[in-house]
Structure 1
């Protein structure tokens, strides 16, 4: 009986693989000179009660998830889920699992802020080292992945950040620290299948950021140092030695954003 369940689970995962599709029409580079806007986007599309801001410095690889995209996700909000490189492909193939640490209750945890999702506790920072990686990303030294999601607003609970920043810094100027972490109910499912028409969370794209300097040196990342950040490689996936990062920070490296963040990914 147990073996039968494992076989059925395996077959379901294989089915997910066969149904993952890329939609080049939705690919975007976000930043000045590319796809760019200031303030909350107002383009007539219904993205629910929460605003959508330009994820400057990131590139989006879109997934084909529905033939009637705007109709399917009418009223659904855009959010982000930081991921590790070893988990990202598994998530795309097999679905998202509810958070193990659920301070806002059980569910899939996402955030409306890609700045928050990019913290190394959530989104692993990987140094580009191999020749294959350098050929893929062309320029840049570090890369991060974040999943773009659409979440059902009626199934989503809004809560504060959980990285111990509290009032010591503003994480994202577009969102209060008190509404920056979301938990979306999974209808009791252990794994959220993105192909399930009743799914409350759907992954709609892969966000990629490539930087010349360590992303912890960007202005938008300075809030990291007001909350939890550590050198434990099983906790914060920094991609470099913690002490080395702190040395670079105090020397003031890489503090100015440039459009190079938008130029390093091969399409």
Structure 2
């Protein structure tokens, strides 16, 4: 199969009635990192019934000038059965772009991986603005429509940032020696843990009822993150699967101001306003999450005390003590993001890093658990 040597604009595509996908298949194979990434994206797609959306943070930075931006689609379809023209016509309509805004670069094997250049005729700042508007228009409904086109992944940004993203992902590893199940009969303690290990200047309490899936960060973790505190960030089910793949978007509107919300209390962080309760379909109960019907994700994170810009009271209107280990007046933190619109927890230079995924899988609804009584008063 010959590699396509030139781009084809959609205005040309629309003039063709028998466009052959094979003409644009690239001989270049996917890298092992990219292939693994797409496999993970597919698992997300199968569970959530929507594509994983990823965007490079440079489109939010007016001081960064990028000459070329791409849209990269992962499509869960045999590339030899893929109808390119129909797909592109649907995408143009869905994303509200015109036929001269986009050009085909190549198609790679691995389901169907379609790379296009977007807004090639515009100035760099105008490209970034249009892509930002496009990204912010991707509502839940639109993501569902993309899924109907078998899109399991969509990336918006520069090709350089995408390559960098893959390098970060290739460095993420599970660190099973530090996996834990917390509770009586497992890893358990009462009060603040004093085992001599450095966890900054904030106390660390047992996250009873949760299972920790540890992530490898760096060989010199204790030296690199000396003085960093443990905190938790509750998240939606979809985001729990996606955050480590495409970064975390900070809160735009919040009671304490802009930034990422976190808490030293997993009891507070797992409130359904922060950590979505997902009822699993029967076919996924054994395949992905054993011995349970409901699942919640909370991210275990580390943050340097200097990046905690607000330590404030709870904002959920609780009428009783939330966590007996701490005051309701100091249970919510806002983490400084230095004006970043996308904070990548996989970047060791980020203001806040993710050290583990906390998972709670229960047969009964979490609202009926003892630690959840404060939800209703």
The two structures have a TM-score, normalised by structure 2, of 0.56
Correspondences of 1:49-128 after superposition (within 5 Å) = 49-128=201-280
The CA distance in 2 between the partners of 1:182 and 1:92, in whole Å, is 21
| Residue matched to 1:188 | 339
| Selected match of 2:178 from 15, 23, 26 | 26
In 2: Cα distance, 1:85 partner to 1:14 partner: 23
Deviation, structure 1 residue 13: 3.2
Q: Note if 1:225 corresponds to 2:350.
A: no
Return the match for 1:155 from 307, 311, 321: 307
Shift of 1:124: 1.0
The 8 Å contact of residues 60 and 206 in structure 1, kept in 2 or not, is answered as yes
Once residues 297 and 192 of structure 2 are traced to their aligned partners in structure 1, the CA distance between those partners, rounded to angstroms, is 23
Corresponding pairs, count: 224
Bigger mean CA offset, 143-152 vs 5-14: 5-14
Distance 1:100 1:27 in 2: 33
TM-score normalised over the length of structure 1:
0.78
Distance of 2:208 and 2:165 partners within structure 1? 33
SS at match of 2:297: strand
Residues in 2 aligned to 1:102 and 1:162: alpha-carbon distance in whole angstroms? 10
CA-atom RMSD in angstroms: 1.7
Give yes or no for contact 2:210–2:360 (8 Å, CA) kept in 1: yes
Gaps of 5+ in 2: 1-66, 71-127, 129-156
Aligned residue for 2:167?
Answer: 15
**Higher RCO structure (Cα 8 Å, ≥6 apart):** 1
Structure 1 residues 46 and 164, CA gap change in structure 2 (3 angstroms): same
Q: 1:171 to 1:2 in 2, by over 3 A?
A: farther
- The reply on whether 1:169 has 2:235 as its aligned counterpart is no
In the aligned structure 1, how far is the partner of 2:373 from the partner of 2:252?
27
Matched, 1:42 2:108: no
Q: C-alpha separation between the residues in 1 aligned to 2:225 and 2:249?
A: 21
- On the 8 A contact 2:168/2:347 being kept in 1, the answer is no
User: Larger radius of gyration, structure 1 or 2?
Assistant: 2
* Unmatched runs of 5 consecutive residues or more in structure 1: 227-267
